[in-house]
Structure 1
Amino acid sequence: MDFSLNKIYHDFKLIEEKYIKEINSKARIFQHNKTGARLLNLENDDDNKVFAIGFRTPPKDSTGIAHIMEHSVLCGSRKFSIKDPFVELAKGSLNTFLNAMTFSDKTLYPVASKNDKDFFNLMDVYLDAVLYPNIYKYPEILMQEGWHHELNSEDDEITYKGVVYNEMKGVFSSPEDVLYRKIQESLFPDTTYGFESGGDPQYIPDLTYEKFIDFHKNFYHPSNSYIYLYGNGNLDEQLRFINEEYLNKFDKAEINSRIEVQKPFGGIRDFKAEYSVSKEDQGKDKTFFSLNFVLGEACNDELYLAFDILEYLLLETPAAPLKKALIEAGIGKDVYGFFDNSILQPVFSVVVKNSNEDKKEEFKKIIFDTFNELVEKGIDKKLIEACINIKEFRLREGDTRNYPKGLIYYTKAMDSWLYDGNPLSHLEYEETFNKIKIALTTNYFEELIKKYLLNVKHGSIITLTPKQGLAEEKAEKLRLKLKEYKSTLSKKELKKLVEETNSLRERQTSPEKKEDLEKIPLLSLKDIDPKAEELPLEETTIGNNKLLYHSLFTNKIVYLKFIFDSKTVEENYIPYVSLLSAVLGKIGTEKYDYADLANEINIYTGGIGYSSSTFIKNGTEGEYLPKFIVKAKVLIDKLPKNIDILEEIILNTKMDDKKRLKEIIQETKSRLEMVIFDAGHIVAANRLFSYFSPVGKYEENISGLQFYKFVEELEENFDEKADEIIRSLKKVAEAIFNKNNLIISIAIEEEHFNGAKENIIKFIEKLDDKVLKINEYKFEIDPQNEGLLTEGDVQYVVKGCNFKQLGYEYSGSLQVLKTIISLDYLWHNIRVLGGAYGSFASFGRSGNMFFGSYRDPNLKETIDAYKKAELYLKNFDVNEREMTKYIIGTISGLDMPLTPAAKSEKAVAYYLSNITKEDVQKERDEILNCNKEMIKSFSSLIADAMKENYICVLGNSSKIKNNKDIFNNLVEVFK
């Protein structure tokens, strides 16, 4: 239907309406008369509809009140009074996105679905959750999600427990996260940004129930809300629902959620902080430096986009002059930065990692010397063109990876809307881009550097140093603090703590009432398309090579993959395959030095990437295909130039540039360290698979802890090993880049296909065609249990095996089992009762399976819970409605909307893994036909799997050592 300005629709007044060509959407801004609630609608042809409600939630301390509230409101509400409606939705809706997010100054609750009925169900549950949560009735919700004193008997030691408490212990185990917290703390001592909205574990136990409730009363009101509707839904019906079911029950309220502006310091302030390393670690080359600048305000559209480009120009592209200057001066082994434009006063930061404390002044001097030089001599115009082009390409492509496009637009809108600006300003980027493009002929960026970075009025410099045994020191202080606290309690008070612990446990373990569970809205199986989506793939040839063609609307972008068999690489050179992917494109060639090469790539393409990957052959006993993939995306008219660049990189890379090679190896090691802290569950799971699976062993060598150790050793002994590294890289490149082991994949509209083929043929003709030997890898599979020791405060606990080796077969019903185990059994036992931030199960077609936990305070207790999953399945007894719920939740995971690039990627993965469309349909049929008897029958699989006793735990050194009898080996992760 048509909407008219200043007219009222279900008590929403239309204030503004306009078409935004950049995102192909009609935008409407509404205000709700009765409450003052703001609402933004982006109408378009996207069937992946998004709803979100957000609140401005500035914290006044570091107790994590905003973060704990985000968790807690999703633990039951007025209409949906069960303990975990969020999990019930995850189990049984067709959502394409379901989550909640805490930022420094706002909390967002977004959901997405392609199904209209499901979309309204999701809106209903989320609106009821945020406006009518059960936190007022059950203090135990704060105890579970936030923190509580845990005391099971009067003789036990008191401990702290809580989901957010343990999540943030995990966050603060990473030095990068400690540094980021200190940046905001240093720059904004007088405003909300000086506090940790996620919660600092040191202060989380200061949060009282009274303050918690007051926070909700103050900020979770429609008058403080920012509501969002995106996609091709029925807007009139959506507005009616939101008003009649929720908003008209409220009156307008005066809410002071205003965020104050930090007054400039008049210069740069100096700060120091520490992070923990092991007692054996001497701390050499482990200092971080960060120089930070506050830049204007978020509602400045031009600055918002210009500094995003400038940060990339200075610090991200291989041609980045500031990064280059710091690396070449030997200040540190890795340099990166960020521009945080999602706060009222955006921040630009330069970070150096793996340095030493005595280099601080030099760090600062080089930064300002580089800025001065860029202003005086000017920035290379080709570099400017490259950085503008790559940023514009990414914006126009609209590839949002795993997030719905509509959600990305909501967060961009909030970057101005939250601060009383126009929510559309950052979505209408074309005019702003055109203003910035004058930088190609003027000193535009030089003037920005001069105004905001050289004439700094508000900044900080932080030195983050390693301290031996700091984690143990803090743990002991906490133990003594709690011991002293216990000594002050009377017998009566101790008894009360035990009663509170038991009361929480009783609430957590009590079964839900059937009538309450059935209040959660649920689709029927009739709402699900029984037919699996067919991914476009036509197998043809190009010369003597296979060509996989994906006919898709790509908006004139070519998505190209050159897939080389890497089994041509000898076994002892396997880690060099992954190293090669890190080197290509970042080191010079015969024609270009590495900076010029980066500019060519960014001017003429949307990016070129390299990766070592494995594809497990469906229906075989562990047979897998290792591949080296070269990926490019480019506008069709620039494809010839893209092919020229690829040819230059593949055939003419100068591996013997020792200086540059060393820099790349140092940066690779640094980035792997970040992954180990942020994705410990993946690191532990990959390590686990290497105990019993050849493909696991291979992947451990190209991306796991084994690869990290390989890179660490190369970096440590680079000077002695440089010639050997160069020879090895050349040998591996020669074994891979050959037309006899190449498959090509291309996604493009049909009208451009033949022209693209002609360009690809030119590339293939340049490749070597000598006969290659295909190697059969014979890894020593070494069954073991390992404790991977770090200074982190939490664990990532993984246990699993290969169920095919035990005589079981894969079926789609295992994916329903995954839903049930992950979101029911493990969620309840590992997260709710155990206090871990996350828990999950995985069952692959290869037979590799695992149970895992994320940011887990426990270790042995978690393993014991895994072992008892067998009993849970033996006693599994649900009604038809509950079974339907699990099936729908499983299908939801299969039916995520895919971009053209993702569709071609998935189609290639299926092709290489020998997964046919019949296999995909069979899996879907098995999911749709799954029943409780099938789930019960898996108890024997789980029992046998847990008896295999493969365990890998990455986590706190002391905790693992205290449980050393579980492990065969203890491995120090970081030297």
Structure 2
Amino acid sequence: MTRSAVSGFTEVATGEIAEIHTRFRHFRHDRTGAEAVFLLNADAVQTFSIAFRTYPTDSTGIAHVLEHCVLSGSRAYPIGRPFEELLKGSLQSYLNASTNPDFTIFPVASPHPQDFSNLVDVYLDAVFFPLLTEESFRREGWHQTADGSYQGVVLSELRGVYAASEYISAEQARRSLFRAGPYSHAHGGDPAQITDLTHAAMKHFHRRYYQPSNTLAAFSGVADIAGELRRLDRVFSQFERRPPPPLLTGSVISSRKIVTFGHSGGGPSCLALNWAFPRAKGRLAELAYDVLCEVVVGQPFAPLRRALIDGGYCTDIAEGRFLDDTAPPRLSVRLTGVDPERISDVERVTRETIEQVMRKGYGAQALAGAVNAVEFRCRDRGTWKRPHAVGLLQDLTKAWRLGRDPRLGLGFARELAEIRRQPAECFEAMMKTHLLDNPHFALVVLTPDGMPSKRARKVPSPPRPSNAARRKPQASTGIPHLTLQDLSPEPVALPLAREQVSGVPVLFHHRPTNGLTYVDLAFDLQGIAQLSCVALFGRIWLQSGTTCRSAQDMALRIGTETGGLSCQVVCPTMGKGQGAAAHLLLRARALTQQAPCLFDILGELLSEVEIPEPPQLAKLVASEIIRLRAQILPKAHEFLDRRLRAQINGAEQTDGLNYLQFLHDFQRVLRRDPDQARQRLEDLQRAIWCRKRLVISIIHDQSGSTDLLRRAERLIVSLSEGDRAKSADTLPVSKRSEAFIVPGEANFVGMAFDTRNQPACTASFAVALRWLETGWLRQRIRDENGAYGVLCRGDAMSGISTFLSYRDPHILPTLDVFSAAGQQLAHGISKEDLTRAIIATIGALERPRSPPDCGLQTLTDWLAGWTTEHRNGFRAAVLATEPDDLEDAGNVLSSAATSAHIVILGGKEALAQVLAQRPHLVTLNDLPGN
């Protein structure tokens, strides 16, 4: 070990992680033992996280409620809601926290150095010196209302997620493998037990776990190491070294176990097969587990996946991969759409399939595809929820929380090369040991029989906190904010080069991609009759064979030579008063050296794919129905947004409730006239795949543009010229306010304001919506009324603004708040609040994105005609927004509120109460297929 140049820390390790182009430096705090890790790379965004090992001993959600409460005021920032203040005036590209089964992590990120410094200061003070008032506990955790009901933000969140059978299945799949320890409890909290949590217990939990001796601070990007270590030392040195909590692992069940229970709300049965593996001895063993799970069940044509789906035991596999969220790690195979009559056969078929694989082998191509899938997850740790750098810090923390060298969670190249050299017998032995002969196995079955009744008990209402209960502030109460002068005078430039090949635009985005190349093919759908059928066609097309390859062979080739393909319909808005400009988007990625193979595969799929026969089509449509229905509760606010915007784009037809209705209708067509149904898909294929509808977008590093352009040209000339796109079809518009019954106690409320015919400035509207979302609406809907979240959505061109609440205990009070938003704006806001809203709007407009997300944004902007000049002009208009502009926006919203469109997803009893009070507010409907 070498002494660091910075007082207070000793450097304990350093090195390179070449496969992610990162230098690693690891420090330990001399006084407390706290650890600090720096991942030094070229990422323009600075990212920070601070994490603590946290071990719940029950299912009250103690770690989860604490995570919320520490962000509700601290010693240096004793205001009630510093987290909201950060949202109001920051350029943050990520600002969140998450509670995991055995650790809690608080990540923040920003492309602006001063903004990043502000965020880190507030988060450090929040986690180590929180006020933890009774008021914040009642708001974020739970409290009893005057009518005897229970409310709270976390309680609302968990009521919402527990209404989804898929969440319950995943939760019980984990807990079923452990008879004791942190993993045997609901770390997020069980709604039936959250009200057992006390304020005193939460404060004790904080003292036990939120201490530097139990801390990992981590940075990614370009960092001033000396400065950051001095900052950490100023905080850590206020504590003495304490024995950190002992590392806990789960006490695994010792023999086979079956868990059967019911869930409310109807829907298909679910089943989960679960195995606990031995603790991985190093990174090689951990990645070998991951590859094993991909070989057996993870890949699209993995033997167990196909045996269960093709054999009719389930409609789809919701999850089938290695999971390292517990110690020891595990494999969970969760089946949806299970045939209740065949549940007892699933375990037998699973064993027989694995035994057959061991006898016959799995093939070099299957292993190559499995290793490839694992490598892509390691190279690109971003998800739709989080950027790549946050994924890096999450994986770093996973290794640290087990007492391992943190960098062991990041490397992969040497280990995967070793796995590729392993003989087949190695994985066959692992199948026998870890699957067939593994006694640590649990079978979890959920059937729609209704949940067990909840405990009925009267809990005295906690006393309201007095002012004396609050700590006295020891520093300034002001949250640090940027000023307009801190912003760059020039907008962020998106590197884009345009080429034209045989009339087809080819867009090149040059940026670091960590060795990957991303290719997007966008086909114009103007003149295509039904977007719902296009969305189904896209998903079926990806699972089809070609004239020279079976569907299985094509899937194996895709898995071996690419990082996967996906297909979706995008509907960029053309402008106020204009319809949808829908495009079918085929997205693909590959290692840069495999880009030629990727283009070959795309060419084969576009020219030679064959639509499956009706029996297979029926299975694919049933699987699509199950997939979509499973998303309704977890993403209910997205379904609301699509429904509310249905009058200006086609997204509701391609991934919303209209699409779900279409799928059920298509099922009936398949039964009545299967040839007609298949013919419709074949007609679409001929109409869409042509040059005149195509735009290509390629995201890659600076090298290889000439070769990529040549590959793109070969693909283009292989397509027929096709017909020119015709004018867009008129989309069906639902102007009725409506409500749909969903299971559970949480509601999801949406209201759309149509301002397309109002003389409103779109830039000032964006600022107004940002102020409402991060300020007044958040306070009224979340903090006062207990909803888990609230969103305002509007874009620069559509003229439609949507207000959405999710996991909300209320309906009518929320609608009343939405309706009053314009009046609140019209009252005027302070100059300081306006400045913060402008900065936050610029932050959202110029938020750094991952390579595929950046490529998608640039592509959709190009398709919609949203040029660099438009973007720069919009930015300038945002910066020039004045208080009077927001007052005008408020008057426009108030005018639009009189004819606002309402959509609600709510519980049956809650909707009945709404209609009893306002009988003509909405039309009540069942979800399609119910």
TM-score band w.r.t. shorter chain:
over 0.9
1:537 aligns with 2:532: no
Q: Which residue of 701, 704, 718 maps to 2:656?
A: 704
Aligned twin of 1:569: 528
Please say if residues 343 and 415 of structure 1, whose CA atoms lie closer than 8 Å, have aligned partners that are also in contact.
no
Q: Structure 2 matches for 1:835-850, cutoff 5 A?
A: 835-844=786-795, 845-850=797-802
Change in CA separation of 1:340 and 1:635 when aligned onto 2, cut-off 3 Å: closer
Matching residue's letter, 2:872: Q
Aligned twin of 2:173: 183
Residue 270 of structure 1: how far off its partner (Å): 0.9
Change in CA separation of 1:957 and 1:906 when aligned onto 2, cut-off 3 Å: same
Residue 298 of structure 1: how far off its partner (Å): 5.0
1:455 aligns with 2:412: no
Q: Distance in 2 between matches of 1:103 and 1:953?
A: 31
Please say if residues 50 and 217 of structure 2, whose CA atoms lie closer than 8 Å, have aligned partners that are also in contact.
yes
Aligned twin of 1:853: 805
Deviates more, 1:18-27 or 1:309-318: 309-318
1:271 aligns with 2:259: yes
Q: Distance in 2 between matches of 1:320 and 1:661?
A: 20
Matching residue's letter, 1:829: R
Matching residue's letter, 2:503: N
Change in CA separation of 1:557 and 1:780 when aligned onto 2, cut-off 3 Å: closer
Please say if residues 144 and 832 of structure 1, whose CA atoms lie closer than 8 Å, have aligned partners that are also in contact.
yes
TM-score by length of 1: 0.91
Q: Structure 2 matches for 1:74-153, cutoff 5 A?
A: 74-135=71-132, 138-151=133-146
Aligned twin of 1:603: 560
Residue 575 of structure 1: how far off its partner (Å): 1.4
Residue by residue over 1:57-114, the C-alpha shift from the partner in whole angstroms, topping out at 9 and shown as x without a partner, is 1100100000000000000000100111011011112222111110011111111122
Residue 260 of structure 1: how far off its partner (Å): 3.7
Report the 3-state secondary structure (helix = DSSP H, G, I; strand = E; otherwise coil) of the residue aligned with 1:918. Answer: helix
Matching residue's letter, 1:57: T
1:194 aligns with 2:184: yes
Q: Structure 2 matches for 1:516-915, cutoff 5 A?
A: 519-554=478-513, 557-570=516-529, 573-618=530-575, 620-690=576-646, 693-695=647-649, 698-715=650-667, 718-748=670-700, 752-771=704-723, 774-805=726-757, 807-844=758-795, 845-878=797-830, 880-915=831-866
Aligned twin of 1:422: 405
Residue 893 of structure 1: how far off its partner (Å): 1.5
Aligned twin of 2:214: 224
Residue by residue over 1:113-148, the C-alpha shift from the partner in whole angstroms, topping out at 9 and shown as x without a partner, is 22222222111111111111111xx21111110001
1:25 aligns with 2:13: no
Residue 275 of structure 1: how far off its partner (Å): 0.5
Residue 933 of structure 1: how far off its partner (Å): 2.2
Aligned twin of 1:489: none
Listed as ranges, the gaps of 5+ residues in structure 2 are none
Q: Distance in 1 between matches of 2:383 and 2:803?
A: 29
Residue 259 of structure 1: how far off its partner (Å): 1.1
Please say if residues 791 and 804 of structure 2, whose CA atoms lie closer than 8 Å, have aligned partners that are also in contact.
yes
Please say if residues 100 and 109 of structure 1, whose CA atoms lie closer than 8 Å, have aligned partners that are also in contact.
yes
Matching residue's letter, 1:592: R
Residue by residue over 1:829-872, the C-alpha shift from the partner in whole angstroms, topping out at 9 and shown as x without a partner, is 10001100000111222111111101101001100111121232
Matching residue's letter, 1:834: N
Q: Distance in 2 between matches of 1:947 and 1:313?
A: 57
Residue by residue over 1:885-906, the C-alpha shift from the partner in whole angstroms, topping out at 9 and shown as x without a partner, is 2222222222222333333322
Change in CA separation of 1:653 and 1:810 when aligned onto 2, cut-off 3 Å: farther
Listed as ranges, the gaps of 5+ residues in structure 1 are 152-156, 487-492
Matching residue's letter, 1:145: E
Please say if residues 837 and 854 of structure 1, whose CA atoms lie closer than 8 Å, have aligned partners that are also in contact.
yes
Residue by residue over 1:584-642, the C-alpha shift from the partner in whole angstroms, topping out at 9 and shown as x without a partner, is 22121111111110111122222222221112113x42233111122222345434432
Q: Distance in 2 between matches of 1:385 and 1:800?
A: 49
Q: Structure 2 matches for 1:346-385, cutoff 5 A?
A: 346-385=329-368
Matching residue's letter, 2:679: R
Please say if residues 8 and 14 of structure 1, whose CA atoms lie closer than 8 Å, have aligned partners that are also in contact.
no
Q: Which residue of 293, 304, 322 maps to 2:286?
A: 304
Matching residue's letter, 1:213: K
Change in CA separation of 1:76 and 1:592 when aligned onto 2, cut-off 3 Å: same
Q: Which residue of 12, 16, 19 maps to 1:15?
A: 12
Q: Distance in 2 between matches of 1:343 and 1:9?
A: 36
Matching residue's letter, 1:354: G
Please say if residues 98 and 112 of structure 1, whose CA atoms lie closer than 8 Å, have aligned partners that are also in contact.
yes
Matching residue's letter, 1:178: I
Deviates more, 1:455-464 or 1:309-318: 309-318
1:334 aligns with 2:286: no
Q: Distance in 2 between matches of 1:677 and 1:552?
A: 37
Please say if residues 74 and 125 of structure 2, whose CA atoms lie closer than 8 Å, have aligned partners that are also in contact.
yes
Change in CA separation of 1:376 and 1:954 when aligned onto 2, cut-off 3 Å: same
Please say if residues 21 and 514 of structure 2, whose CA atoms lie closer than 8 Å, have aligned partners that are also in contact.
no
Residue 374 of structure 1: how far off its partner (Å): 0.9
1:258 aligns with 2:247: yes
Matching residue's letter, 1:747: I
Change in CA separation of 1:109 and 1:362 when aligned onto 2, cut-off 3 Å: same
Matching residue's letter, 1:547: V
Deviates more, 1:424-433 or 1:457-466: 424-433
Deviates more, 1:359-368 or 1:181-190: 181-190
1:317 aligns with 2:317: no
Change in CA separation of 1:201 and 1:900 when aligned onto 2, cut-off 3 Å: closer
Matching residue's letter, 2:312: G
Q: Distance in 2 between matches of 1:125 and 1:727?
A: 60
Change in CA separation of 1:9 and 1:736 when aligned onto 2, cut-off 3 Å: same
Aligned twin of 1:490: none
Q: Distance in 1 between matches of 2:187 and 2:748?
A: 24
Matching residue's letter, 2:343: K
* Residues paired across the two proteins, number: 922
Matching residue's letter, 2:180: D
Please say if residues 379 and 446 of structure 1, whose CA atoms lie closer than 8 Å, have aligned partners that are also in contact.
no
Residue 552 of structure 1: how far off its partner (Å): 4.1
Please say if residues 316 and 335 of structure 2, whose CA atoms lie closer than 8 Å, have aligned partners that are also in contact.
yes
Please say if residues 754 and 900 of structure 2, whose CA atoms lie closer than 8 Å, have aligned partners that are also in contact.
no
Change in CA separation of 1:903 and 1:780 when aligned onto 2, cut-off 3 Å: closer
1:446 aligns with 2:466: no
Report the 3-state secondary structure (helix = DSSP H, G, I; strand = E; otherwise coil) of the residue aligned with 1:389. Answer: helix
Q: Which residue of 45, 52, 58 maps to 1:55?
A: 52
CA RMSD of aligned residues (A): 2.4
Please say if residues 91 and 890 of structure 1, whose CA atoms lie closer than 8 Å, have aligned partners that are also in contact.
no
Aligned twin of 1:154: none
Q: Between the two proteins, what is the percent identity of the paired residues?
A: 26
Residue 954 of structure 1: how far off its partner (Å): 0.8
Change in CA separation of 1:906 and 1:145 when aligned onto 2, cut-off 3 Å: same
TM-score by length of 2: 0.95
Q: Distance in 1 between matches of 2:231 and 2:560?
A: 48
Residue 398 of structure 1: how far off its partner (Å): 5.8
Change in CA separation of 1:730 and 1:263 when aligned onto 2, cut-off 3 Å: closer
Aligned twin of 1:343: 326
Matching residue's letter, 2:657: L
Please say if residues 55 and 106 of structure 1, whose CA atoms lie closer than 8 Å, have aligned partners that are also in contact.
yes
Residue 750 of structure 1: how far off its partner (Å): 5.9
Residue by residue over 1:767-796, the C-alpha shift from the partner in whole angstroms, topping out at 9 and shown as x without a partner, is 223435625423443310111111122111
Aligned twin of 1:292: 274
Q: Distance in 2 between matches of 1:299 and 1:72?
A: 37
Please say if residues 787 and 967 of structure 1, whose CA atoms lie closer than 8 Å, have aligned partners that are also in contact.
no
Residue 235 of structure 1: how far off its partner (Å): 0.6
Deviates more, 1:349-358 or 1:173-182: 349-358
